[in-house]
Amino acid sequence: MIFKSLFYHFKESWKNLFRNAWMTFASVSSVAMTLLILGGFIVMTMNLNYITQGVENKVEIRVHIDRTAEKDEVTAMRSKLEHVKNVKSVEFSSKDDELELMRESWGKNSSVLDMFEQNNPLHDVYVVKLVNPQDVEKAAKDIESIDFVDKLQYGKGFVNNLFNVTRIGRYVGIGLIVGLIFTTIFLISNTIKITIIARRREIEIMRLVGATNAFIRWPFFLEGIWLGTLGAAIPIGILSLAYYYLYTNVVERLNVQFLQLLPPNPFLYQLAGILIGIGSIIGVLASLMSIRKFLKV
């Protein structure tokens, strides 16, 4: 009996789609366009978060040690740095290590550094990483008060400005996504309202012969899912092709260290799941809103 009812509901929901073919086409097209824009903002928001996390992972404070500090004083500094609030790890880099890093960064021009082999003018350095990189300036102020700290390097000003920009971009993206979701609910809701109005007499007869409210709701409930799912299929295809092209032909060729996007696999599968899920949930919500408001069942 349960399977027979389910089969009936599935059959009726598909009948409703083809019975109002032009409205179904218009609704799916509108939903597809809306989800395409919504999906674009989801792609941007998720990649913005990924870039922000990458920047956060690279944020570090390079503590240059005063050359007058004795060996035991340099060793004592590690303990003091480890006790600074928000410090995650502390690593020591000798002035010889710093010279080697400079050689690597200079590449072919590193031969000019040979003059410093005997008399290295660089500082010993402690590399400090933080639990919460967004509080880098506060941690830097605490570290500056420690004895034998000559200077700090951590991209003062730039890091905080970058975090502020990404934070604003994240909030704007979330706001637009929420707005577009409500727009999509409105579009699907209107399509289902027309179906309900067209079948009002049929529904009244069903109620007279004893059909329950749940029995009447199910075909519209499923119709909302189909509209949302069909509407999600088109933007999934467009966004997947566009993103894959962007990743393989632009990002990898430019090889910009700062511009690191999420790898297509598994991101595109996650995006497809998100859009299908959003489309289905929006369709269900739109269906329930239409039935409750206009049928009073």
CB 170 within 8 A of CB 147: no
- Percent of the chain scoring above 90 in pLDDT: 3
Is the Cα dihedral 229, 234, 237, 240 positive or negative?
A: negative
Distance CA 86, CA 91 (A): 15
Each residue's pLDDT tens digit, 191-230: 666 666 666 676 677 677 776 767 777 777 777 788 878 8
Q: Is the pLDDT of residue 238 over 90?
A: yes
Cis peptide before 266 (omega within 30 of 0): yes
Q: Estimate to the nearest angstrom the gap between the alpha carbon of 169 and the chain centroid.
A: 11
**HSE-CB for 244 with a 13 A CA cutoff:** 11
Give the tokens for residue 233. Answer: 């299929």
Give the tokens for residue 110. Answer: 């590193």
CATH T-level fold of 60-153 = Alpha-Beta Plaits (3.30.70)
Three-state secondary structure call for residue 237: helix
Instruction: Parse the chain into domains and list their residue ranges.
Output: 2-55+161-295, 60-153
Tell if the pTM clears 0.75, that is, is over it: no
> In sequence order, what are the residues at sequence separation of 6 or more whose Cβ sits closer than 8 angstroms to the Cβ of residue 168?
none
Three-state secondary structure call for residue 4: helix
Residue 109: pLDDT band with limits 50, 70, 90: low
Residue 297: pLDDT band with limits 50, 70, 90: very low
Query: H-helix or E-strand containing 126?
Result: strand 125-130
